[in-house]
Amino acid sequence: MVQSQVRSNPSSITSQISPWLARLAYPLGACVVLPTYFGKITVTGQENLPPTGPVILAPTHRSRWDGLVMPYAAGKLVTGRYLRFMVSANEMTGLQGWFIRRLGGFPVDSQKLRLETVHHSVELLCDGEMITIFPEGNIYRQPKVEPLKRGVAAIALQAQAKLPDEVVKIVPISIHYSDPYPQWGTDVQVAIGQPLAVSQYNLKTPKSSSKQLTQNLENALRRLHEVEALSPQQDMILTA
């Protein structure tokens, strides 16, 4: 079992990846579940995914299917990296929660970003992990990008402060379904944008830097999701 935890507070949140379960789940999802359920799955921009180092993947959130689409588009079979996930605490119950916890998921209070969640996210980034955090906070069915929460920027800036010799990167990602409520045969478009380098922001002014970083990420997501998603170029690359 590959496990990470905040070393300064052993009683706080932990997350883990079960090697045997991950080796089974990633190919099953990518080669069987998603291609069987969905219609055409299009992914562009995979060259923008950093192969190493601390990374936050910041996708739009349009369905619970996003949790399977992200490993398909950016996970082990693409980058050689297992993904960690920040997941709403109410989704980490029962059998589903058992799987999520063993595939790198850790809980977040959707109403308030708690300190232990921030600490664990920073710790994972300091370990060089790739974390998926949905910056809109909740699932939204409309085509527009919702105003982003400040949590992604706050976590990224704290991690960057602890990693002066590395660059924390935030990758904006658009996930678009041809139906507001994905169903059998729905098409999926994933557009991966260029990373934002957190090292370019002033760490001595975290409040203003967090605001600017959040706005820049929101602008990048809007370009991907509201503008470029309408371009016929999105149909150029098909991964299956």
Amino acid, single-letter form, for residue 106? F
Q: Does residue 38 lie within any of the structural domains?
A: yes
pLDDT of residue 228: 67
Torsion 64-33-178-104 (CA) sign: positive
CB 102 within 8 A of CB 21: yes
CATH number assigned to the domain comprising residue 102: 3.40.1130.10
Element (H, E) at 43: strand 41-44
Residue 14 pLDDT > 90:
no
Q: Does residue 24 lie within any of the structural domains?
A: yes
Total structural domains within the chain: 1
Q: Using CA atoms, how far apart are residues 191 and 168, in angstroms rounded to an integer? A: 20
User: Ranked by mean pLDDT, which of 95-99, 148-152, 213-217, 235-239 comes out on top?
Assistant: 213-217
pLDDT of residue 231: 53
Q: Does residue 240 lie within any of the structural domains?
A: no
Bigger pLDDT: 50 vs 2: 50
Which one-letter DSSP state was computed for residue 8?
T
Q: Does residue 26 lie within any of the structural domains?
A: yes
Instruction: State mean pLDDT over 175-182.
Output: 93
pLDDT of residue 1: 46
In the structure encoding, which two tokens stand for residue 107, read together? 């809980």
Q: Does residue 223 lie within any of the structural domains?
A: yes
Q: The domain containing residue 82 runs over which residues? A: 2-235
Under the banding of pLDDT at 50, 70 and 90, the label for residue 230 is: low
**pTM score of the predicted model:** 0.88
Closest CA to 175 of 145, 215, 196, 202: 145
In the structure encoding, which two tokens stand for residue 82, read together? 């297992």
Q: Does residue 76 lie within any of the structural domains?
A: yes
Torsion 112-96-27-23 (CA) sign: positive
In the structure encoding, which two tokens stand for residue 106, read together? 């850790």
Q: Does residue 104 lie within any of the structural domains?
A: yes
Q: Does residue 195 lie within any of the structural domains?
A: yes
